[in-house]
Amino acid sequence: MCITISSYAPAVPVFFAHNFSTNSFFKKMFNTAKSLSEDEIKILNNNADKILKREKLEKLIDIKNITSKTNLSKFLQTPLTIQDLQQVQQGSNAFFHGDGSIYINREVAPNLLFHEIGHAHNNKFSSFFKKIFPLYLPSQKIPFVLAFASLLLNEEKPKEGEELTKFQKAKNVFRKTLPFLAAASSLPMLMEEGMATHKANIWARELLEPNLAKKLAKSYKFGFLTYLAIPISAFLISFLGMKYKDFLSSGKSNKMADTKNTSQ
């Protein structure tokens, strides 16, 4: 039991690294928004409206423009938190809500609008993405649930003079796949994010001058990294935790063998 609890220790530095890198990616996205000129802000908003019209999303989507003057409490709607809305207000993030609304600060970060329209397009026009949308939020949490649960399992060891049974061997193989399964459970979220960015970049390349399209692509890259940090962290928590657990339990079994040897 004590060894199982200790196997959670590697999760602490992984969470620190996760938070640090995610915050720095958000900062990079914020810096892109800050680097936009007045003209670029206008161009982005006009072209986003053009996309909404052209893709017939205008009437299906409700854009909630969260500016510095907005009273945030009016816009609180699960699963969005006040911190999420503060990020939107600052211009470091934007959200697409399943009811068809986009939360964005159009005055500060219209660079994120193309990506959010990409989510709206997935949600309204792709039966595949419509189907996996309910999995989006769970696929942010399940990787960590699986990673922590994987540390409850022990490696099967053969009894003295005996070999592992088929079942024990299968259990060990399954145990080894758990870090990968934990990471893979984030796929619905990664696919949704990847496709929204892919659509946004196509529209940006088509409608904007190359430098501005590049700025958008750069902010989406950092946005995607904040999501990619989830499977990477879950994998590391599970993989490193298991290695540490196996290391601790091999030390314990060596000690037990030593005491047996000395008492004989």
Residues near Zn ion (CB under 5 A) are: 193, 196
Q: In the complex with Zn ion, which residue's Cβ is closer, 84 or 193?
A: 193
Q: In the complex with Zn ion, which residue's Cβ is closer, 121 or 215?
A: 121
Q: In the complex with Zn ion, which residue's Cβ is closer, 83 or 250?
A: 83
Q: How far is the CB of 45 from Zn ion (least distance, A)?
A: 19
Q: Would you say the C-alpha torsion 80, 86, 88, 89 has a positive or negative sign?
A: positive
Q: How far is the CB of 9 from Zn ion (least distance, A)?
A: 33
Report the alpha-carbon distance of residue 245 to residue 155 in Å, rounded: 9
132: which 2 tokens? 């996996």
Q: How far is the CB of 110 from Zn ion (least distance, A)?
A: 15
Q: In the complex with Zn ion, which residue's Cβ is closer, 227 or 239?
A: 227
Q: In the complex with Zn ion, which residue's Cβ is closer, 6 or 65?
A: 65
Q: How far is the CB of 84 from Zn ion (least distance, A)?
A: 12
Q: How far is the CB of 227 from Zn ion (least distance, A)?
A: 8
